[in-house]
Chain A
């Protein structure tokens, strides 16, 4: 029973971290349909800025987090205007090449600026504490990530399904020409959506940093994880990504508890089986 509860608690906590680090990608790759391999790059930038604000300039955790996300978004907007706007029209393979190139540029810039060692983001004392769950303890920052994950999934659902921006974005993605003809400023919509994706990437990078620590090679190290969550969840579905992240988190945690030697193989075998059965992921968006 304790084992079952352990798997449940750790699985959900880990799944929420997976969701937080890949939700930005489900916006850019899933909704906007640009194969954005530079997603991890934006998470890296967010994490590096947070490290810089908190560890070097001495700001507390929350202001450092907000400033880091804001700075990443501020950088992503001109990048969208100058580079991504051209990338949208590329074929899939060209998008892969262009965005992986951008990733290398980001890695090299961070490497030059901060070096290649770990870039920790100091947490608040309150977040370092352990919370007693009765049968065991859980670090407070994991509870914070769970809360943040729930807030993000609800917020995005509201934004995409219930606001004018969401309707316009979905219209612009489905048929840009027609959306434009209806008077929607699709350039601005795309720029805002891209900024949203980059901001979420930065947020996930900082909040997930206790488990997936930031260093210059972060984007390459965890690229497969981001892509799996979005692929399993189903392109363009935030709810799908959420279910996929929690499911994968539970699955991998269970495998680590029960058969540590085979955890990685089991994880990838099940992902492959799932994608073979449902090539478009758990939740397929109606066209």
Chain B
């Protein structure tokens, strides 16, 4: 209560002073991996945040905004919690953001509940996180949100039998369940559900098994980087495309590693919420500013998650300053045009309601680069995994 009064007083004082400098500085703590094998996430986040700041200035409403970055290294819940605590107590931050991995996001639940700190998840895609605290907001996506529409689309395209090959860990199993539930609800059949060990280096045995089963398509979920590289190569080299077994995926063709996949990636079909090649002024403006600031930067889903997360934080700060519960309330009704397309915050799940696009990898004639070419919107949905 006193906090609200203080915030109100600050706001009133600020409006009374004409052309005054902002009344106070609100700090945002960003917890993400900035070193080690997952450092790319931290890099993408920071570039996107700084792009947003460069476009919109450092003030939101009557407040100055400052970002503090903390390196969590990798999937490490203890460290994530320790860093959040340090940010809240020593740095006195009023907002938290970042969180690439589900365990890292879950670890700060009790802290943000106690301190009433709005926490914007830039990536972690497990539906249940947002159930742990009212203060979680998510600007990425959930696995159900993209996998289920893909299954329905596949059925509508005439595919009746699908084999699923997912990496055997939390997100992979989520993706398998979502795809299977949606595909079978339509009347399709999942002929083989293979869970591939996380340490798999040679995917040939799984691909051959799929080939022998001869389904209409193979749905897959893999962690980005080396596994995706090897899987897509193996898919092509073993002639699955020629055998008429279509590739269906989600994040596999993300932009940072897309060029590395090479020609093997051409024709891969994925359903996802963001493509670097999305045709809109917002996306072009975002990418132009991004590459102006960071010439080597490539926008992918992690960048757009952070960019929209920053937008959300600016809106919350403008509306409620340091008042956590009021900020979350304000966020629940927001709608805006993101580089990914139109988005809207779902008041119940606090995850974005957004378009899911069907895309196909193609070589752009103008630049010679591989792109995820959007061929249509297959759904506009919120978190479909909330009630599962």
Contact = CB atoms under 8 A, between A and B. Distances in A.
A3 to B, nearest CB: 8
Nearest to A17: B202
Contacts of B39: 111, 116
A123 B359 CA distance: 27
B75 interface: no
B204 A10 contact: yes
B200 A263 contact: yes
B289 to A, nearest CB: 20
A130 B242 CA distance: 12
A125 to B, nearest CB: 10
B205 A261 contact: no
Contact of A260 (B196, B237, B238, B262): B196
Contact of A136 (B208, B260, B262): B208
A260 B239 contact: no
Contacts of B201: 211-212, 222, 225
Contact of B208 (A10, A120, A139, A213): A10
Given A211-B230, A213-B229, A264-B197, A118 B257 contact: yes
Contacts of A213: 225-226, 229-230, 260
B230 A117 contact: no
A62 interface: no
Interface string A238-249: 000000000000
Interface residues of A, number: 38
A217 interface: yes
A200 B38 CA distance: 29
B196 A117 contact: no
B229 A118 contact: yes
Contacts of A111: 39
B168 interface: yes
Contacts of A260: 194-197, 205-206, 209
Given A211-B230, A213-B229, A215-B225, A120 B205 contact: no
Interface in B254-288: 256-257, 260-262
Given A213-B229, A260-B197, A118 B202 contact: no
B199 interface: yes
Given A117-B257, A261-B195, A14 B200 contact: no
Interface SS majority for chain A: helix
Given A210-B233, A261-B168, A264-B199, A117 B238 contact: no
Given A137-B238, A225-B201, A253-B205, A118 B194 contact: no
B296 interface: yes
Given A221-B226, A225-B201, A263-B200, A122 B239 contact: no
Contacts of A221: 37, 226
A137 B260 contact: no
B199 A256 contact: no
Contacts of B206: 256, 260
A7 B230 CA distance: 19
B208 A130 contact: no
A261 B192 CA distance: 13
A6 interface: yes
Nearest to B40: A116
Contacts of B209: 257, 260
B89 to A, nearest CB: 32
A235 to B, nearest CB: 24
Minimum-distance CB pairs A-B, first 6: A118-B260, A256-B205, A264-B197, A139-B237, A217-B37, A213-B229
17 contacts: A13-B204, A14-B202, A17-B202, A116-B39, A116-B40, A117-B40, A117-B256, A118-B257, A118-B261, A120-B261, A120-B262, A211-B201, A211-B202, A213-B226, A256-B206, A260-B206, A264-B200
Interface of B: 36-37, 39-40, 43, 168, 194-202, 204-206, 208-209, 212, 225-226, 229-230, 233, 237-239, 256-257, 260-262, 296
